């Protein structure tokens, strides 16, 4: 009984952590997408290739 309750508690914690990480991940992705759109709109000289991604990552 105690063991099953503990495993249920840890699984709920794992699910909660996964949801939080997923929410943070999606927020970061949307922020990066908006930021890259801003960079592309403001500085059209930056190519859309790996150079632009490296610039975004460095910032």
Q: What angle separates helix 50-58 from helix 2-42, to the nearest 10 degrees?
A: 110
Q: pLDDT tens, 26-42?
A: 888 888 777 777 666 66
| Whole-prediction pTM | 0.43
Which tokens sit at 7?
A: 């495993």
Q: Would you tell me how many other CB atoms lie within 10 Å of the CB of residue 39?
A: 15
Report domain extents, the chain.
23-59
Question: What phi and psi values does residue 25 have, to the nearest 5 degrees?
Answer: -60, -45
Q: Would you tell me how many other CB atoms lie within 10 Å of the CB of residue 34?
A: 10
pLDDT at 42: 61
Which tokens sit at 53?
A: 């991604």
């Amino acid at each position: 009984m105690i063991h099953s309750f503990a495993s249920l508690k840890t699984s709920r914690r794992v699910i909660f952590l996964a949801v939080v990480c997923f929410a943070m991940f999606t927020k970061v992705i949307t922020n990066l997408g908006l930021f890259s759109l801003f960079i592309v709109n403001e500085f059209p000289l930056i190519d859309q290739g790996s150079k632009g991604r490296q610039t975004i990552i460095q910032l």
